[in-house]
Amino acid sequence: MVKFRIYIDTSVIGGCFDDEFAEYSTLLFQEFIEGKKIAVVSNITLKELKQSPEHVRRKFEEIPKENVEYIGLTNEAEELAQKYIENGIISSNYFLDAEHIAIATVERIDIVASWNFKHIVNINRIRGFNSVNLKEGYQVIEIRSPMEIIDES
Protein backbone atom coordinates (compact mmCIF):
# COMPACT_ATOMS: atom_id res chain seq x y z
CA MET A 1 0.00 0.00 0.00
CA VAL A 2 1.32 3.42 -0.96
CA LYS A 3 1.53 5.85 1.93
CA PHE A 4 0.51 9.43 1.22
CA ARG A 5 3.20 12.01 1.82
CA ILE A 6 1.42 14.86 3.64
CA TYR A 7 3.12 18.25 3.90
CA ILE A 8 2.06 19.87 7.17
CA ASP A 9 2.46 23.43 8.33
CA THR A 10 2.46 24.54 11.95
CA SER A 11 -1.31 25.13 11.94
CA VAL A 12 -1.82 21.36 11.74
CA ILE A 13 0.51 20.71 14.67
CA GLY A 14 -0.88 23.54 16.78
CA GLY A 15 -4.38 22.45 15.76
CA CYS A 16 -4.03 19.52 18.16
CA PHE A 17 -4.45 22.09 20.96
CA ASP A 18 -7.21 24.22 19.42
CA ASP A 19 -10.82 23.38 20.31
CA GLU A 20 -11.95 23.98 16.72
CA PHE A 21 -9.28 21.80 15.06
CA ALA A 22 -8.12 19.33 17.73
CA GLU A 23 -10.25 16.35 16.68
CA TYR A 24 -8.98 16.14 13.11
CA SER A 25 -5.41 17.27 13.77
CA THR A 26 -5.15 14.59 16.45
CA LEU A 27 -6.59 11.93 14.13
CA LEU A 28 -4.09 12.89 11.41
CA PHE A 29 -1.24 12.77 13.93
CA GLN A 30 -2.36 9.30 14.97
CA GLU A 31 -2.09 8.22 11.33
CA PHE A 32 1.46 9.62 11.21
CA ILE A 33 2.36 7.86 14.47
CA GLU A 34 0.96 4.56 13.19
CA GLY A 35 2.82 4.93 9.89
CA LYS A 36 -0.32 5.07 7.74
CA LYS A 37 0.87 8.38 6.27
CA ILE A 38 4.22 10.17 6.09
CA ALA A 39 4.46 13.63 7.67
CA VAL A 40 6.52 15.94 5.47
CA VAL A 41 7.97 19.10 6.97
CA SER A 42 10.20 21.76 5.51
CA ASN A 43 12.90 23.86 7.05
CA ILE A 44 10.34 26.69 7.07
CA THR A 45 7.91 24.60 9.14
CA LEU A 46 10.73 23.67 11.52
CA LYS A 47 11.73 27.34 11.88
CA GLU A 48 8.10 28.27 12.67
CA LEU A 49 7.93 25.36 15.10
CA LYS A 50 10.94 26.70 17.04
CA GLN A 51 8.88 29.83 17.75
CA SER A 52 5.89 27.77 18.94
CA PRO A 53 5.08 26.87 22.54
CA GLU A 54 6.89 23.88 24.00
CA HIS A 55 3.80 21.62 24.02
CA VAL A 56 3.39 22.17 20.25
CA ARG A 57 7.04 21.26 19.62
CA ARG A 58 6.64 18.15 21.78
CA LYS A 59 3.55 17.12 19.81
CA PHE A 60 5.56 17.02 16.58
CA GLU A 61 8.21 14.90 18.30
CA GLU A 62 5.61 12.18 18.96
CA ILE A 63 5.84 11.12 15.31
CA PRO A 64 8.45 8.37 14.90
CA LYS A 65 11.43 9.55 12.83
CA GLU A 66 10.81 6.86 10.20
CA ASN A 67 7.40 8.42 9.52
CA VAL A 68 8.75 11.93 8.93
CA GLU A 69 10.36 13.28 5.77
CA TYR A 70 12.35 16.51 5.87
CA ILE A 71 12.57 18.77 2.82
CA GLY A 72 14.01 22.22 2.31
CA LEU A 73 13.51 25.44 0.44
CA THR A 74 15.43 25.34 -2.82
CA ASN A 75 16.09 28.10 -5.36
CA GLU A 76 13.56 26.38 -7.61
CA ALA A 77 10.86 26.52 -4.92
CA GLU A 78 11.71 30.11 -4.07
CA GLU A 79 11.31 31.09 -7.74
CA LEU A 80 7.96 29.30 -7.92
CA ALA A 81 6.77 31.08 -4.76
CA GLN A 82 7.74 34.36 -6.40
CA LYS A 83 5.61 33.41 -9.45
CA TYR A 84 2.61 33.00 -7.13
CA ILE A 85 3.20 36.57 -5.92
CA GLU A 86 3.76 37.96 -9.43
CA ASN A 87 0.53 36.34 -10.62
CA GLY A 88 -1.47 37.87 -7.76
CA ILE A 89 -2.32 34.55 -6.16
CA ILE A 90 -1.08 35.65 -2.76
CA SER A 91 0.31 38.90 -1.40
CA SER A 92 4.02 39.32 -0.78
CA ASN A 93 3.05 39.87 2.88
CA TYR A 94 2.37 36.12 3.01
CA PHE A 95 5.45 34.94 1.16
CA LEU A 96 6.05 32.14 3.70
CA ASP A 97 2.66 30.65 2.81
CA ALA A 98 3.61 30.80 -0.86
CA GLU A 99 6.90 29.07 -0.03
CA HIS A 100 5.06 26.24 1.76
CA ILE A 101 3.04 25.54 -1.39
CA ALA A 102 6.03 25.93 -3.70
CA ILE A 103 8.21 23.55 -1.68
CA ALA A 104 5.47 20.92 -1.66
CA THR A 105 4.93 21.37 -5.40
CA VAL A 106 8.60 21.13 -6.34
CA GLU A 107 9.06 18.07 -4.10
CA ARG A 108 5.97 16.40 -5.63
CA ILE A 109 4.22 15.97 -2.27
CA ASP A 110 0.85 14.19 -2.45
CA ILE A 111 -1.16 16.60 -0.28
CA VAL A 112 -0.60 19.85 1.61
CA ALA A 113 -2.53 19.91 4.91
CA SER A 114 -3.27 23.18 6.65
CA TRP A 115 -5.89 24.96 8.73
CA ASN A 116 -4.97 28.30 7.07
CA PHE A 117 -8.23 28.90 5.22
CA LYS A 118 -7.36 32.45 4.24
CA HIS A 119 -4.07 31.93 2.40
CA ILE A 120 -3.72 28.20 1.74
CA VAL A 121 -6.88 26.05 1.97
CA ASN A 122 -8.98 28.41 -0.12
CA ILE A 123 -10.55 27.37 -3.42
CA ASN A 124 -9.57 30.56 -5.25
CA ARG A 125 -5.97 30.35 -4.06
CA ILE A 126 -5.78 26.61 -4.77
CA ARG A 127 -6.93 27.24 -8.34
CA GLY A 128 -4.41 30.05 -8.62
CA PHE A 129 -1.51 28.00 -7.26
CA ASN A 130 -2.38 25.18 -9.66
CA SER A 131 -2.77 27.54 -12.61
CA VAL A 132 0.77 28.81 -12.03
CA ASN A 133 2.02 25.26 -11.40
CA LEU A 134 0.69 24.04 -14.73
CA LYS A 135 1.96 27.10 -16.59
CA GLU A 136 5.42 26.51 -15.10
CA GLY A 137 5.43 22.78 -15.91
CA TYR A 138 4.60 21.40 -12.46
CA GLN A 139 1.83 19.04 -11.42
CA VAL A 140 -1.39 20.08 -9.72
CA ILE A 141 -1.04 20.07 -5.93
CA GLU A 142 -3.77 18.83 -3.59
CA ILE A 143 -4.41 21.26 -0.72
CA ARG A 144 -6.82 20.15 2.00
CA SER A 145 -7.65 20.52 5.67
CA PRO A 146 -6.78 17.57 7.94
CA MET A 147 -10.51 16.82 8.19
CA GLU A 148 -10.54 15.97 4.48
CA ILE A 149 -7.61 13.56 4.45
CA ILE A 150 -7.97 11.32 7.47
CA ASP A 151 -8.95 7.68 6.93
CA GLU A 152 -12.54 7.06 7.93
CA SER A 153 -12.13 3.29 8.34
Long-range contacts of range 23-27, CB-CB < 8 Å, 24 or more positions apart?
Answer: 24/145, 24/146, 24/147, 24/150, 25/115, 25/146, 27/146, 27/150
**Percentage of residues in the chain with pLDDT exceeding 90?**
97
Compute how many other C-beta atoms are within 10 angstroms of the C-beta atom of residue 95. Answer: 16
Question: pLDDT tens digit string along 98-152?
Answer: 999 999 999 999 999 999 999 999 999 999 999 999 999 999 999 999 999 998 6
| Mean pLDDT estimate for the chain | 96
Is the model's pLDDT at 26 over the cut of 80? yes
The domains of the chain, with CATH numbers, are: 5-149 (3.40.50.1010)
Is the model's pLDDT at 1 over the cut of 60? yes
The predicted structure's pLDDT at residue 153: 57
